Amino acid sequence: SHGKYRVATENTIFAMPETKIGLFPDVGGTWWIPRLKLYRDRQRKGVVGGVGNYLALTGARLKGDDLIYAGIATHFIPSERLNELKLALIDATNNSTQSLGDCVAGVLMSFHDEKVNVDLDKAFLSKNRKEIDQAFDGKQSVEDIVSTLESVKSDSQFAKTTLDTLKQMSPTSLKVTLEALIRGSKVQSIEEALDMEYRMSQAFMRKGSDFYEGIRAALVDKCGEPQWNPSSLEGVTNGFVDKFFDDLGDRELCLSGGSSKL
Protein backbone atom coordinates (compact mmCIF):
# COMPACT_ATOMS: atom_id res chain seq x y z
CA SER A 1 0.00 0.00 0.00
CA HIS A 2 3.04 2.29 -0.05
CA GLY A 3 3.46 2.18 -3.83
CA LYS A 4 2.10 4.95 -6.03
CA TYR A 5 0.30 2.53 -8.33
CA ARG A 6 -1.50 -0.54 -6.95
CA VAL A 7 -3.34 -2.79 -9.38
CA ALA A 8 -6.13 -5.20 -8.44
CA THR A 9 -7.93 -7.78 -10.58
CA GLU A 10 -11.04 -9.91 -10.07
CA ASN A 11 -8.72 -12.57 -8.59
CA THR A 12 -6.97 -10.34 -6.05
CA ILE A 13 -7.23 -11.24 -2.37
CA PHE A 14 -5.75 -8.86 0.21
CA ALA A 15 -5.62 -9.25 3.98
CA MET A 16 -3.63 -8.27 7.05
CA PRO A 17 -4.08 -11.37 9.28
CA GLU A 18 -1.34 -10.57 11.80
CA THR A 19 -3.59 -10.45 14.88
CA LYS A 20 -4.47 -14.09 14.21
CA ILE A 21 -0.83 -15.11 14.65
CA GLY A 22 -0.15 -12.89 17.64
CA LEU A 23 1.55 -10.03 15.79
CA PHE A 24 0.47 -6.64 14.36
CA PRO A 25 0.13 -5.09 10.87
CA ASP A 26 3.73 -4.04 10.33
CA VAL A 27 5.91 -2.81 7.43
CA GLY A 28 4.44 0.67 7.76
CA GLY A 29 0.89 -0.44 8.49
CA THR A 30 0.69 1.92 11.45
CA TRP A 31 1.37 4.78 9.01
CA TRP A 32 -1.03 4.10 6.14
CA ILE A 33 -3.93 2.35 7.88
CA PRO A 34 -4.94 5.36 10.03
CA ARG A 35 -4.75 7.50 6.88
CA LEU A 36 -6.86 5.28 4.65
CA LYS A 37 -9.02 7.47 2.43
CA LEU A 38 -11.94 5.54 1.04
CA TYR A 39 -12.97 5.93 -2.56
CA ARG A 40 -16.28 7.60 -1.73
CA ASP A 41 -14.66 10.00 0.74
CA ARG A 42 -11.56 11.22 -1.10
CA GLN A 43 -13.03 14.69 -1.63
CA ARG A 44 -14.20 15.03 1.97
CA LYS A 45 -11.43 16.45 4.12
CA GLY A 46 -10.71 14.57 7.33
CA VAL A 47 -13.02 11.63 6.64
CA VAL A 48 -11.34 8.35 7.52
CA GLY A 49 -13.96 6.19 9.23
CA GLY A 50 -13.56 2.79 10.83
CA VAL A 51 -12.50 0.67 7.87
CA GLY A 52 -8.79 0.83 8.69
CA ASN A 53 -9.30 -0.32 12.27
CA TYR A 54 -11.68 -3.02 11.07
CA LEU A 55 -9.19 -4.42 8.57
CA ALA A 56 -6.24 -4.30 10.98
CA LEU A 57 -8.04 -5.99 13.86
CA THR A 58 -10.08 -8.62 12.04
CA GLY A 59 -7.73 -9.51 9.17
CA ALA A 60 -10.72 -9.35 6.81
CA ARG A 61 -10.01 -10.66 3.30
CA LEU A 62 -10.75 -8.14 0.57
CA LYS A 63 -11.43 -8.69 -3.12
CA GLY A 64 -10.69 -6.29 -5.94
CA ASP A 65 -13.83 -4.17 -5.64
CA ASP A 66 -13.23 -3.71 -1.90
CA LEU A 67 -9.64 -2.68 -2.56
CA ILE A 68 -10.79 0.03 -4.95
CA TYR A 69 -13.47 1.13 -2.47
CA ALA A 70 -10.92 1.32 0.34
CA GLY A 71 -8.35 3.13 -1.76
CA ILE A 72 -5.84 0.34 -1.23
CA ALA A 73 -5.81 -0.37 -4.97
CA THR A 74 -5.57 2.51 -7.43
CA HIS A 75 -6.58 0.63 -10.58
CA PHE A 76 -8.80 -2.36 -11.41
CA ILE A 77 -7.70 -4.30 -14.47
CA PRO A 78 -9.20 -7.63 -15.60
CA SER A 79 -6.67 -10.44 -15.20
CA GLU A 80 -7.06 -11.44 -18.85
CA ARG A 81 -5.48 -8.11 -19.81
CA LEU A 82 -2.42 -8.28 -17.52
CA ASN A 83 -0.06 -9.56 -20.19
CA GLU A 84 -1.30 -6.87 -22.56
CA LEU A 85 -0.72 -4.33 -19.78
CA LYS A 86 2.84 -5.54 -19.27
CA LEU A 87 3.64 -5.13 -22.94
CA ALA A 88 2.04 -1.68 -23.01
CA LEU A 89 4.11 -0.57 -20.02
CA ILE A 90 7.30 -1.81 -21.64
CA ASP A 91 6.45 -0.02 -24.86
CA ALA A 92 5.51 3.20 -23.07
CA THR A 93 8.66 3.34 -20.95
CA ASN A 94 10.86 2.63 -23.97
CA ASN A 95 9.31 5.25 -26.21
CA SER A 96 7.90 7.97 -23.99
CA THR A 97 9.56 11.35 -23.50
CA GLN A 98 7.53 11.82 -20.32
CA SER A 99 8.78 11.00 -16.83
CA LEU A 100 8.37 7.36 -15.81
CA GLY A 101 5.51 8.17 -13.41
CA ASP A 102 3.54 10.16 -15.99
CA CYS A 103 3.89 7.50 -18.63
CA VAL A 104 2.86 4.67 -16.26
CA ALA A 105 -0.20 6.60 -15.05
CA GLY A 106 -1.49 7.05 -18.58
CA VAL A 107 -1.10 3.38 -19.45
CA LEU A 108 -2.77 2.19 -16.26
CA MET A 109 -5.73 4.51 -16.76
CA SER A 110 -6.17 3.23 -20.33
CA PHE A 111 -6.52 -0.30 -18.90
CA HIS A 112 -8.51 0.62 -15.79
CA ASP A 113 -11.98 -0.93 -15.86
CA GLU A 114 -14.37 1.94 -15.10
CA LYS A 115 -17.26 -0.50 -14.60
CA VAL A 116 -15.88 -1.43 -11.19
CA ASN A 117 -16.68 2.09 -9.98
CA VAL A 118 -20.33 1.52 -10.78
CA ASP A 119 -20.32 -1.71 -8.78
CA LEU A 120 -18.66 -0.33 -5.65
CA ASP A 121 -21.97 -0.18 -3.80
CA LYS A 122 -21.99 -3.98 -4.01
CA ALA A 123 -18.57 -4.30 -2.37
CA PHE A 124 -18.52 -5.89 1.08
CA LEU A 125 -17.04 -2.81 2.73
CA SER A 126 -19.58 -0.54 1.10
CA LYS A 127 -22.56 -2.68 2.11
CA ASN A 128 -21.35 -2.88 5.71
CA ARG A 129 -19.83 0.60 5.98
CA LYS A 130 -22.40 1.98 8.41
CA GLU A 131 -21.88 -0.85 10.89
CA ILE A 132 -18.09 -0.78 10.43
CA ASP A 133 -17.98 2.92 11.26
CA GLN A 134 -20.37 2.49 14.17
CA ALA A 135 -18.21 -0.19 15.77
CA PHE A 136 -14.67 0.81 14.80
CA ASP A 137 -14.47 4.53 14.04
CA GLY A 138 -12.77 6.60 16.73
CA LYS A 139 -12.80 3.85 19.34
CA GLN A 140 -10.07 4.12 21.96
CA SER A 141 -10.25 0.54 23.22
CA VAL A 142 -11.00 -2.91 21.86
CA GLU A 143 -13.53 -3.32 24.66
CA ASP A 144 -15.50 -0.39 23.24
CA ILE A 145 -15.51 -2.06 19.82
CA VAL A 146 -16.70 -5.37 21.26
CA SER A 147 -19.35 -3.64 23.35
CA THR A 148 -20.74 -1.83 20.31
CA LEU A 149 -20.87 -5.05 18.30
CA GLU A 150 -22.52 -6.89 21.19
CA SER A 151 -25.21 -4.21 21.42
CA VAL A 152 -26.37 -4.78 17.83
CA LYS A 153 -25.59 -8.46 17.22
CA SER A 154 -29.21 -9.57 17.64
CA ASP A 155 -30.10 -7.63 14.50
CA SER A 156 -26.80 -7.81 12.60
CA GLN A 157 -25.13 -10.77 10.94
CA PHE A 158 -22.10 -8.55 10.36
CA ALA A 159 -21.78 -7.92 14.11
CA LYS A 160 -22.12 -11.62 14.92
CA THR A 161 -19.51 -12.65 12.38
CA THR A 162 -17.11 -9.90 13.43
CA LEU A 163 -17.41 -10.82 17.10
CA ASP A 164 -16.66 -14.45 16.28
CA THR A 165 -13.60 -13.32 14.30
CA LEU A 166 -12.26 -11.09 17.07
CA LYS A 167 -12.59 -13.93 19.59
CA GLN A 168 -10.10 -15.96 17.52
CA MET A 169 -7.45 -13.27 17.63
CA SER A 170 -4.72 -12.74 20.19
CA PRO A 171 -6.12 -10.36 22.85
CA THR A 172 -2.64 -8.87 23.19
CA SER A 173 -2.33 -8.31 19.45
CA LEU A 174 -5.76 -6.69 19.29
CA LYS A 175 -4.97 -4.18 22.02
CA VAL A 176 -1.42 -3.44 20.92
CA THR A 177 -2.56 -3.02 17.31
CA LEU A 178 -5.30 -0.54 18.16
CA GLU A 179 -2.91 1.45 20.35
CA ALA A 180 -0.35 1.43 17.53
CA LEU A 181 -2.93 2.77 15.07
CA ILE A 182 -3.86 5.55 17.50
CA ARG A 183 -0.21 6.46 17.98
CA GLY A 184 0.52 6.01 14.28
CA SER A 185 -2.14 8.56 13.39
CA LYS A 186 -0.12 11.17 15.28
CA VAL A 187 3.35 10.60 13.82
CA GLN A 188 4.65 13.01 11.20
CA SER A 189 6.36 10.55 8.85
CA ILE A 190 6.53 6.91 7.87
CA GLU A 191 10.05 6.84 9.35
CA GLU A 192 8.59 7.63 12.78
CA ALA A 193 6.00 4.91 12.32
CA LEU A 194 8.71 2.39 11.39
CA ASP A 195 10.75 3.37 14.44
CA MET A 196 7.70 2.64 16.58
CA GLU A 197 7.01 -0.64 14.80
CA TYR A 198 10.58 -1.75 15.41
CA ARG A 199 10.06 -1.29 19.16
CA MET A 200 6.87 -3.29 18.91
CA SER A 201 8.51 -6.06 16.90
CA GLN A 202 11.21 -6.48 19.52
CA ALA A 203 8.58 -6.83 22.23
CA PHE A 204 6.71 -9.43 20.19
CA MET A 205 9.95 -11.42 19.91
CA ARG A 206 10.23 -11.88 23.68
CA LYS A 207 10.12 -15.44 24.95
CA GLY A 208 6.56 -16.50 25.71
CA SER A 209 5.05 -13.94 23.35
CA ASP A 210 1.76 -14.72 21.61
CA PHE A 211 3.64 -14.50 18.31
CA TYR A 212 5.42 -17.78 19.05
CA GLU A 213 2.14 -19.40 20.00
CA GLY A 214 0.36 -18.06 16.92
CA ILE A 215 3.06 -19.40 14.60
CA ARG A 216 2.99 -22.77 16.37
CA ALA A 217 -0.77 -23.14 15.97
CA ALA A 218 -0.92 -21.85 12.38
CA LEU A 219 2.27 -23.13 10.76
CA VAL A 220 4.01 -25.73 12.94
CA ASP A 221 1.32 -27.94 14.50
CA LYS A 222 -1.35 -26.51 12.17
CA CYS A 223 -3.99 -27.17 14.80
CA GLY A 224 -5.59 -23.74 14.56
CA GLU A 225 -5.99 -23.62 18.34
CA PRO A 226 -3.54 -21.11 19.81
CA GLN A 227 -3.43 -20.77 23.58
CA TRP A 228 -3.17 -17.03 24.02
CA ASN A 229 -1.62 -15.57 27.16
CA PRO A 230 -3.35 -13.53 28.46
CA SER A 231 -6.41 -15.35 27.16
CA SER A 232 -8.86 -12.46 27.45
CA LEU A 233 -9.01 -8.74 26.74
CA GLU A 234 -9.47 -8.11 30.43
CA GLY A 235 -6.12 -9.74 31.12
CA VAL A 236 -4.27 -7.36 28.83
CA THR A 237 -3.73 -4.28 30.98
CA ASN A 238 -2.81 -0.81 29.77
CA GLY A 239 0.57 -1.19 31.44
CA PHE A 240 1.19 -4.45 29.58
CA VAL A 241 0.33 -2.76 26.27
CA ASP A 242 2.61 0.20 26.99
CA LYS A 243 5.62 -2.11 27.30
CA PHE A 244 5.37 -2.85 23.58
CA PHE A 245 6.28 0.79 22.93
CA ASP A 246 9.16 1.09 25.40
CA ASP A 247 12.29 2.89 24.25
CA LEU A 248 15.06 0.48 23.21
CA GLY A 249 17.95 2.71 24.21
CA ASP A 250 20.99 2.13 22.05
CA ARG A 251 19.02 -0.46 20.05
CA GLU A 252 16.64 2.14 18.64
CA LEU A 253 16.19 2.03 14.86
CA CYS A 254 16.30 5.84 14.48
CA LEU A 255 15.08 6.02 10.88
CA SER A 256 13.46 9.34 11.70
CA GLY A 257 16.82 10.80 12.69
CA GLY A 258 15.92 11.29 16.31
CA SER A 259 13.56 10.19 19.03
CA SER A 260 10.06 9.45 17.77
CA LYS A 261 8.84 8.15 21.10
CA LEU A 262 5.09 8.47 21.47
3-state secondary structure 185-204: CCCCCHHHHHHHHHHHHHHH
Residue 147: how many other CB atoms lie within 10 Å: 12
Nearest CA among 136, 128, 217, 206 for reference residue 169: 217
Q: Digits of tens for pLDDT over the chain (262 positions)? A: 577 899 999 999 999 999 999 999 999 999 999 888 665 555 455 445 799 999 999 999 999 999 988 889 989 999 999 999 999 999 888 876 655 557 888 899 999 887 766 578 889 999 999 999 999 998 999 999 999 999 999 999 999 999 999 999 999 999 999 999 999 999 999 999 999 999 999 999 999 999 999 999 999 999 999 999 999 999 999 999 999 999 999 998 988 876 555 5
| Measured distance CA(29)–CA(10) in Å, rounded | 24
The backbone torsions φ and ψ at residue 201, rounded to the nearest 5 degrees and listed phi first, read -60, -40
What is residue 35's predicted lDDT score, i.e. its pLDDT? 85
Q: How far is 184 from 43, CA to CA, in rounded Å?
A: 23
3-state DSSP assignment of residue 239: helix
* pTM of the predicted model as reported, rounded to 2 decimal places: 0.88
Q: How many other CB atoms are found less than 10 A from the CB of residue 201? A: 16
Helices in 96-152 by DSSP H: which ranges? 100-111, 115-118, 124-127, 129-136, 142-152
pLDDT of residue 100: 54
pLDDT at 231: 96
> pLDDT at position 118, please?
56
Across 25-109, the runs of DSSP E, i.e. the strands, are 75-76
